[in-house]
Amino acid sequence: MTSGRVIENHGSGERLVLQRTAAQTGGRLLAFELRLAPGGRVPASHSHPAQEERFTVVEGRLRFRLGRRSLVLGAGDTVSVRPGTAHRFANPGPGAARVLVEVRPALRMQELLETAAALGAAPRPLHLLLFLREFAAEVRAPLLPWAVAAVTRPLAWLALACGLDAGYRRLRRRLAEGATTP
Protein backbone atom coordinates (compact mmCIF):
# COMPACT_ATOMS: atom_id res chain seq x y z
CA MET A 1 0.00 0.00 0.00
CA THR A 2 1.41 3.30 -1.05
CA SER A 3 1.73 6.71 0.45
CA GLY A 4 -0.98 9.21 -0.40
CA ARG A 5 -3.77 6.76 0.43
CA VAL A 6 -6.57 8.42 2.39
CA ILE A 7 -8.41 6.79 5.30
CA GLU A 8 -11.54 8.59 6.48
CA ASN A 9 -13.31 7.79 9.71
CA HIS A 10 -16.53 9.78 9.46
CA GLY A 11 -17.65 8.69 12.91
CA SER A 12 -14.64 10.24 14.66
CA GLY A 13 -13.93 13.13 12.29
CA GLU A 14 -10.49 11.73 11.42
CA ARG A 15 -8.96 11.97 7.95
CA LEU A 16 -5.57 10.31 7.52
CA VAL A 17 -3.26 10.73 4.56
CA LEU A 18 -0.54 8.09 4.56
CA GLN A 19 2.96 9.46 4.03
CA ARG A 20 5.18 6.44 4.73
CA THR A 21 3.82 2.93 5.09
CA ALA A 22 5.13 -0.20 6.77
CA ALA A 23 5.75 -1.66 3.31
CA GLN A 24 7.91 1.32 2.39
CA THR A 25 9.91 1.33 5.64
CA GLY A 26 10.43 -2.37 6.23
CA GLY A 27 7.92 -2.23 9.09
CA ARG A 28 9.88 0.36 11.06
CA LEU A 29 7.44 3.26 10.63
CA LEU A 30 3.93 4.29 9.69
CA ALA A 31 3.71 8.05 9.15
CA PHE A 32 0.55 9.95 8.29
CA GLU A 33 -1.02 13.36 8.39
CA LEU A 34 -4.09 13.44 10.61
CA ARG A 35 -6.75 16.04 9.95
CA LEU A 36 -9.22 16.20 12.78
CA ALA A 37 -12.44 18.16 12.39
CA PRO A 38 -13.57 20.50 15.18
CA GLY A 39 -15.06 18.29 17.88
CA GLY A 40 -13.46 15.21 16.30
CA ARG A 41 -11.77 12.70 18.55
CA VAL A 42 -10.12 9.33 18.61
CA PRO A 43 -12.97 6.88 19.23
CA ALA A 44 -11.76 5.69 22.68
CA SER A 45 -8.98 5.88 25.22
CA HIS A 46 -6.46 3.16 24.40
CA SER A 47 -2.85 2.05 24.61
CA HIS A 48 -0.40 0.41 22.24
CA PRO A 49 1.51 -2.43 23.93
CA ALA A 50 4.62 -2.34 21.71
CA GLN A 51 4.42 0.88 19.70
CA GLU A 52 5.48 4.44 20.32
CA GLU A 53 3.47 7.25 18.74
CA ARG A 54 4.62 10.80 18.16
CA PHE A 55 2.15 13.61 17.42
CA THR A 56 3.33 16.99 16.07
CA VAL A 57 0.66 19.66 15.67
CA VAL A 58 1.12 21.58 12.42
CA GLU A 59 -2.06 23.64 12.59
CA GLY A 60 -4.93 24.08 15.04
CA ARG A 61 -5.08 22.60 18.53
CA LEU A 62 -5.20 19.14 20.02
CA ARG A 63 -6.47 18.32 23.50
CA PHE A 64 -4.51 15.30 24.68
CA ARG A 65 -4.95 12.99 27.63
CA LEU A 66 -1.68 11.16 28.30
CA GLY A 67 -1.93 8.83 31.27
CA ARG A 68 -3.21 11.14 34.02
CA ARG A 69 -1.93 14.32 32.36
CA SER A 70 -4.09 16.64 30.26
CA LEU A 71 -2.37 18.75 27.62
CA VAL A 72 -3.48 21.24 25.02
CA LEU A 73 -1.08 21.29 22.08
CA GLY A 74 -0.77 24.04 19.52
CA ALA A 75 1.14 24.46 16.28
CA GLY A 76 4.75 23.35 16.73
CA ASP A 77 4.07 21.25 19.84
CA THR A 78 5.00 17.56 19.93
CA VAL A 79 4.04 14.79 22.32
CA SER A 80 5.41 11.24 22.40
CA VAL A 81 3.36 8.35 23.72
CA ARG A 82 5.45 5.48 25.04
CA PRO A 83 4.28 1.87 24.63
CA GLY A 84 1.62 0.87 27.14
CA THR A 85 0.62 4.46 27.98
CA ALA A 86 -3.12 5.16 27.95
CA HIS A 87 -4.04 8.12 25.78
CA ARG A 88 -6.78 9.81 23.81
CA PHE A 89 -7.08 13.06 21.92
CA ALA A 90 -9.65 15.45 20.52
CA ASN A 91 -9.84 18.70 18.61
CA PRO A 92 -11.30 21.40 20.89
CA GLY A 93 -11.88 23.57 17.78
CA PRO A 94 -12.86 25.95 16.39
CA GLY A 95 -10.90 25.02 13.23
CA ALA A 96 -9.52 21.76 11.90
CA ALA A 97 -6.37 20.37 13.47
CA ARG A 98 -3.56 19.11 11.26
CA VAL A 99 -1.17 16.72 13.00
CA LEU A 100 1.78 14.66 11.79
CA VAL A 101 1.75 11.22 13.41
CA GLU A 102 4.54 8.64 13.50
CA VAL A 103 4.04 5.09 14.77
CA ARG A 104 7.09 2.92 15.55
CA PRO A 105 7.20 0.04 14.77
CA ALA A 106 4.36 0.05 12.27
CA LEU A 107 3.17 -3.51 12.93
CA ARG A 108 -0.37 -3.72 11.42
CA MET A 109 -1.43 -0.21 12.41
CA GLN A 110 -2.46 0.75 8.88
CA GLU A 111 -4.85 -2.23 8.74
CA LEU A 112 -6.15 -1.33 12.19
CA LEU A 113 -6.89 2.25 11.10
CA GLU A 114 -8.60 1.10 7.90
CA THR A 115 -10.70 -1.43 9.80
CA ALA A 116 -11.66 1.07 12.53
CA ALA A 117 -12.80 3.53 9.84
CA ALA A 118 -14.84 0.82 8.11
CA LEU A 119 -16.48 -0.24 11.39
CA GLY A 120 -17.67 3.33 11.94
CA ALA A 121 -18.64 5.24 15.05
CA ALA A 122 -20.79 2.50 16.58
CA PRO A 123 -19.41 -0.92 15.68
CA ARG A 124 -21.49 -3.97 16.43
CA PRO A 125 -20.30 -5.54 19.72
CA LEU A 126 -19.33 -8.76 17.93
CA HIS A 127 -17.24 -6.83 15.40
CA LEU A 128 -15.54 -4.93 18.23
CA LEU A 129 -14.64 -8.24 19.94
CA LEU A 130 -13.18 -9.60 16.71
CA PHE A 131 -11.33 -6.32 16.07
CA LEU A 132 -9.72 -6.39 19.54
CA ARG A 133 -8.72 -10.02 19.02
CA GLU A 134 -7.26 -9.41 15.56
CA PHE A 135 -5.30 -6.30 16.54
CA ALA A 136 -4.22 -7.29 20.07
CA ALA A 137 -0.57 -6.53 19.24
CA GLU A 138 -1.48 -2.97 18.19
CA VAL A 139 -4.16 -1.80 20.63
CA ARG A 140 -5.51 -2.58 24.08
CA ALA A 141 -8.02 -1.24 26.52
CA PRO A 142 -6.27 1.25 28.80
CA LEU A 143 -7.66 0.01 32.10
CA LEU A 144 -7.12 -3.55 33.25
CA PRO A 145 -6.10 -4.77 29.79
CA TRP A 146 -5.55 -8.30 31.10
CA ALA A 147 -9.14 -8.40 32.42
CA VAL A 148 -10.57 -7.06 29.17
CA ALA A 149 -8.53 -9.63 27.22
CA ALA A 150 -9.67 -12.40 29.58
CA VAL A 151 -13.27 -11.61 28.61
CA THR A 152 -12.94 -10.61 24.95
CA ARG A 153 -10.63 -13.38 23.74
CA PRO A 154 -12.90 -16.30 24.76
CA LEU A 155 -15.97 -14.49 23.42
CA ALA A 156 -14.23 -13.80 20.11
CA TRP A 157 -13.09 -17.44 19.95
CA LEU A 158 -16.65 -18.59 20.61
CA ALA A 159 -17.96 -16.31 17.85
CA LEU A 160 -15.39 -17.75 15.45
CA ALA A 161 -16.17 -21.32 16.49
CA CYS A 162 -19.91 -20.73 15.93
CA GLY A 163 -19.36 -19.04 12.57
CA LEU A 164 -20.76 -15.70 13.75
CA ASP A 165 -17.86 -13.78 12.24
CA ALA A 166 -19.10 -13.73 8.62
CA GLY A 167 -19.94 -10.01 8.56
CA TYR A 168 -16.56 -9.04 10.01
CA ARG A 169 -14.75 -11.36 7.58
CA ARG A 170 -16.63 -9.76 4.64
CA LEU A 171 -15.62 -6.29 5.82
CA ARG A 172 -11.95 -7.35 6.21
CA ARG A 173 -11.99 -9.05 2.78
CA ARG A 174 -13.34 -5.89 1.12
CA LEU A 175 -10.60 -3.85 2.78
CA ALA A 176 -7.93 -6.33 1.67
CA GLU A 177 -9.25 -6.04 -1.89
CA GLY A 178 -8.83 -2.27 -1.74
CA ALA A 179 -12.40 -1.13 -1.09
CA THR A 180 -12.58 2.17 0.77
CA THR A 181 -16.08 1.74 2.17
CA PRO A 182 -17.56 -1.21 4.05
Q: State the CATH number of the domain containing residue 11.
A: 2.60.120.10
Could you list the residue range(s) of the whole structural domain that residue 100 is in?
6-104
Q: Indicate the pTM of the whole model.
A: 0.84
- Does residue 10 contact residue 35 with C-beta atoms inside 8 Å? no
**Total domains in the fold of the chain:** 2
**Is 151 within a domain?**
yes
d(C-alpha 115, C-alpha 72), whole Å: 28
- Distant-in-sequence, close-in-space partners of 110: CB < 8 Å, separation ≥ 6: 1, 18, 21, 22, 30
pLDDT band at 121 (very low <50, low <70, confident <90, very high): low
How do residues 34-86 score in pLDDT, each as one tens digit? 999 999 998 778 999 999 999 999 999 999 999 899 999 999 999 999 999 99
Last residue of a domain, one of 104, 139, 155: 104
Last residue of a domain, one of 104, 121, 139: 104
Same domain, 35 and 87: yes
